[in-house]
Amino acid sequence: MNDIPSPHDRDLPPGRHQALREHLMREIETGDGAEAAHGTRPPVRPARRLWRRPAFVAPAVAATLTAAVVVGATFTQNAAAPPRPGVDTATGRRGVAPSDESAAKLLERIAEAAGRRTLPAIRDDQFVYTEREDYHWKVDPERSRTTCASTDEGHFFGVRETWWSVDGQHVGLSREHKDNGKVVERSVAKQLRAKNNVNFYREAEDELPTDAGEMYRYLYGLKSAEQPSGEKTADRDAFEKASALLTGQLLPPKVEVALYLALARIPGLTVYEGTEDAVGRTGVSIGMDGTFPRDFGQDRTRHELLFDGRTLAFLAQNAVNLDTPDDDCEVLEAGDLVSSVAILERGVVDRTGQLP
């Protein structure tokens, strides 16, 4: 039922081992001080001051998908890290390389693979189970008292399991796994159908197009006779809407096929090999470069959809910083993850708390 590979060898992005890093930095600083005192090496340049970015705000579709959960602020961890050696200057990330394959051709192959996958008969009283890892960088709060602009962040971070009612008429469950080992459970209220949004599986089945042309118009918000404006912002918004559908809910196979074929028609997409998500899985990605409103203080970023290189199953959605720091308030290097939503497992179960 689930083609998503389990996360192996979690070579996590910057910020996931904060305590270890701080301990290491203390050891380094201690050693540097001793060496400088004996004249064996010059003192190191002070670390850049760190700017705490505003909170991650998902697109309208994703916001609606999660609106039923009573969300408490979950704070992300420090993403500041020294530059990494061996980074590919063309992509900003080590091991990531542009592919010769066009995005349209790859998406056609992804659609074909999705069309071969099937789901069992799903009952209204069942639940869609999703396990996902949310990552968003932030600075260490103890180091954030600087002259740089600073705001609080309050978005999901870490592993979260959800059980969404198939028909929206049953109370679901959200289970958040905190970094301190604490597990927080909250009920997910019954869902209502909403115009232009998808809250649960039956609604996706009933409301989302299964024809590629209709899905294309849905992503762009077009009426039947309208054509896209040609503006890059319209292409960006259509790509973001598709990303929100993939990360937010289990999609019926025919809907998923139509979505990939519609994505293939969006201009400005590029293919990269060796892309990595928040849990260290690598695969092939389809990305769009630009300035995205939900990245706030970031300048240029690439938003990517990551797929397993073998099965072509959807794995994650990434936002990657593309610019090098241009002042002391900038922290992320080119290639650092701004955010990532990694789908670890999905399936259909009979009750909340049950695993596929």
The sign of the torsion formed by the CA atoms of 277, 245, 74, 81 equals positive
For residue 157, pLDDT over 90 is answered with: no
Q: What are phi and psi of 32, to 5 degrees?
A: -60, -40
Per-residue pLDDT tens for 67-93?
A: 333 333 222 223 333 333 334 434 445
Per-residue pLDDT tens for 294-329?
A: 776 567 899 999 999 999 999 999 999 898 877 666
Per-residue pLDDT tens for 112-128?
A: 999 999 999 999 999 99
pTM above 0.85, yes or no: no
Q: Specify the pLDDT at position 96.
A: 84
Q: Specify the pLDDT at position 180.
A: 84
Residue corresponding to tokens 């896209």: 228
Of residues 2 and 213, more confidently modeled: 213
Q: Give the alpha-carbon dihedral of 188, 193, 194, 199, to 10 degrees.
A: 40
Q: Specify the pLDDT at position 299.
A: 77
**Sheet containing 282-290: which strands, arranged edge to edge?**
97-98, 270-276, 282-290, 301-307, 314-321, 337-349, 127-136, 158-165, 172-177, 183-188
Mean pLDDT of the chain: 76
Q: Is residue 154 very low, low, confident or very high in pLDDT (cuts 50, 70, 90)?
A: low
Stretch 128-132: mean pLDDT = 97
Per-residue pLDDT tens for 159-211?
A: 999 999 999 999 999 999 988 889 999 999 999 887 777 899 999 999 999 99
Stretch 255-278: mean pLDDT = 96
Per-residue pLDDT tens for 225-244?
A: 888 888 999 999 999 999 99
Of residues 7 and 112, more confidently modeled: 112
Give the percent of the chain with pLDDT over 70: 66
The encoded tokens of residue 229 equal 């404006």
For residue 25, pLDDT over 90 is answered with: no
Give the percent of the chain with pLDDT over 90: 50
Q: Is residue 2 very low, low, confident or very high in pLDDT (cuts 50, 70, 90)?
A: low
Q: Specify the pLDDT at position 210.
A: 98
Round to whole Å and give the CA distance between 314 and 241. 15
Of residues 263 and 68, more confidently modeled: 263
For residue 267, pLDDT over 70 is answered with: yes
